[in-house]
Amino acid sequence: MSDTVIQPRPLGHPLAGQTMSGARMIMQVLADEGVTAIFGYSGGAILPTYDAVFLYNEQQIRAGEPQIPLIVPANEQGAGFMAAGYARATGRVGVCIVTSGPGATNTVTPVRDSMADSVPMVVICGQVARASIGTDAFQEAPVPSIMGSVAKHIFLVTDPTRLEATIRTAFEIARTGRPGPVVVDVPKDVQNWEGVFQGSGILPIPGYRRRMTDLFHRALDDLEAAKFFEMLGEAKRPLIYAGGGVINSNAAVPLADFAESFGIPVVTTLMGIGAIDTQHKLAMHMLGMHGTAYANYTVDDADFLIAVGSRFDDRVAGVPARFARNAKRIAHLDIDRAEVNKVKRVQWSYVGQLPEALQALLAYGRRKKFAPDYSAWHAELAELKRVYAMNYDRNSNLIQPYYVIEEINRLTGGEAIIATGVGQHQMWAAQYCDFRQPRLWLTSGSMGTMGFGLPAAIGAQIANPRRLVIDIDGDSSIRMNMGELETVTTYDLPVKVVVLNNFGDGMVKQWQKLFHHGRFASSDRSLHKKDFIKAAQADGFQYAVRLDRKEDVPRVIQEFINFPGPAFLEVIIDRDAGVYPMVGPGKSYDEMITGDHIPSRYKVNITTPGASEMF
């Protein structure tokens, strides 16, 4: 007897009571959940569901209704990152459908990447028939064991009467609380099973729903607000430290309202970029390992740190005891209780939904007519921005990557969706691009997955067909998923792909130069024979150009941006260009290396990290 909870809708689902296959039920639930695109690669164990997608879209055409396109990548990893790009750019749940065995294992990396960055995604995997599970059947993989350790949740559907409710519950778990990827492993015979479609119903997950109910009904009361404002009232140099949780919870508007109302400046993490308009007068930009020098010095100077949707990770707080070293108090607002006091001890915390919490604090402050004077602090920050501004060798005869990104930014004005791979180009884009609003910055943060940029840009373009989408990539990173160039042209997507080519693993080479006496073990690509332009042309790019003269940069980038369809640009950049500032692993902000063109507050001696330090 099934313990599925049936929750009939007031008017009932129009298809309730109809007999259909499990595969058709999957497809119908996807449609009911508002899915507008599916990303995936077919195979034997998922064929029934792919057939259901085909039949659904055929029916939609006959009815004159919108289809749900199925975007087929070069491989399943690309499909996972496309679904993640779709989710990151919209806030909606991305959907990836793959076959069993290698199809499922190829999605492990995007699933883990999405878990690490709190991205809502549902991955539906085909599986061998129930009777064959555990027999090492053709293309069988232990998906629950593999995915269970990297996903927010994993379902293996062995009771077909629970399939419909399981898919709905997967969406619920993916989007609620701290978002994340949910994997549903569906045996082929369950897809082929026929039963009655209920049109409603979810699985009983009482513990999870109880926690979510507590979060949704949690309200920041006046006593908590009073304690917060007592600390804020004693501060002379308050600072908001905003992370990816602000983006994920759609809290950017209340965050900006709160910051503006009380004049509190804001620094953001890599994942928090866009939480506040980067051109806002209170924006102090990105902090951390490759944050701006003035942002990191701001953190050092602050006397009250307000962490919002951020988690004090090692890229920000390399030495937790010395992070925000002058802060007398720290406040922390987050959706996830596990993050509070995990790395850094705080004096005030709130666990709940960020938009409502920020609105409650704002309302309390206004009621109490809280009107601080932080003019001296603002003057100090303006001076920090002036003295320690981002800069580079502007007189070099070689093309500097910073110049290229400045030109892209000049033309796009902070309104484009920018996706990146992982490496130096990722950090240059974070440092030199503007973002006027959330969900314009798509990058792999916690996992740092090379090959993320191109498929993520494709997913974002599918989700935002009228928006300019640019993948800023590196020559090594794009190689990881270069097969997706063909996906761009197959679907005639106007994605713009720029490859900053420094003939190697630039970030690895930078570390080798600093900490391994310049031994470029396995990181130099100068002898490789890859011709990116011919590759792009072979994949159907009508615009594929190599830029190797500095004087051509403005003209060529304008042509590239304005080209009406898919466009590919390879830029031969200075091979020795580095990412600065840089806070080495296990170092604090007073040990930040600023390079040759950005001043430093301190005399810094570059030392090799300890053997146990992470990359």
Look at the chain and count its residues.
615
Question: Residue 138 catalytic?
Answer: yes
3-class secondary structure, 222: helix
State the catalytic residue, choosing from 33, 121, 164, 188. 188
Distances (CA, A) of 214 to 226, 367, 457: 22, 27, 36
Distances (CA, A) of 194 to 4, 42, 551: 17, 21, 66
Q: Please tell me the distance from the alpha carbon of residue 105 to that of residue 101, in angstroms, as a whole number.
A: 6
State the catalytic residue, choosing from 25, 28, 76, 77. 76
DSSP letter assigned to residue 160: G
3-class secondary structure, 129: coil
Q: Please tell me the distance from the alpha carbon of residue 414 to that of residue 412, in angstroms, as a whole number.
A: 6
State the catalytic residue, choosing from 18, 60, 67, 139. 139
Q: Judge residue 502's burial from the number of C-beta atoms within 10 Å of its C-beta, 0-12 exposed, 13-18 middle, 19 or more buried.
A: buried
**For 513, what's the count of Cα atoms within 13 Å in the CB-facing half-sphere?**
14
State the catalytic residue, choosing from 7, 59, 138, 368. 138
Sheet holding 283-286, edge to edge: 283-286, 266-268, 238-242, 304-308, 329-334, 348-351
3-class secondary structure, 474: strand
Contact criterion met (CB below 8 Å) for 349 and 333: yes
Question: Residue 139 catalytic?
Answer: yes
Q: Please tell me the distance from the alpha carbon of residue 509 to that of residue 515, in angstroms, as a whole number.
A: 10
**HEC secondary structure over 535-603:** HHHHCCCCEEEEECCHHHHHHHHHHHHHCCCCEEEEEECCCCCCCCCECCCCCCHHHCECCCCCCCCCC
**HEC secondary structure over 446-473:** CCCCCCCHHHHHHHHHHHCCCCCEEEEE
Q: Please tell me the distance from the alpha carbon of residue 7 to that of residue 3, in angstroms, as a whole number.
A: 12
Contact criterion met (CB below 8 Å) for 143 and 104: yes
DSSP string, 481-547: TTTHHHHHHHTT---EEEEEE-SB-HHHHHHHHHHSTT--TTTB-TT----HHHHHHHTT-SEEEEE
State the catalytic residue, choosing from 147, 231, 289, 507. 507
For residue 576, give both structure tokens: 């020795």
**Count of beta carbons in the 10 Å neighbourhood of residue 1:** 4
Q: Active-site positions?
A: 76, 138-139, 188, 507
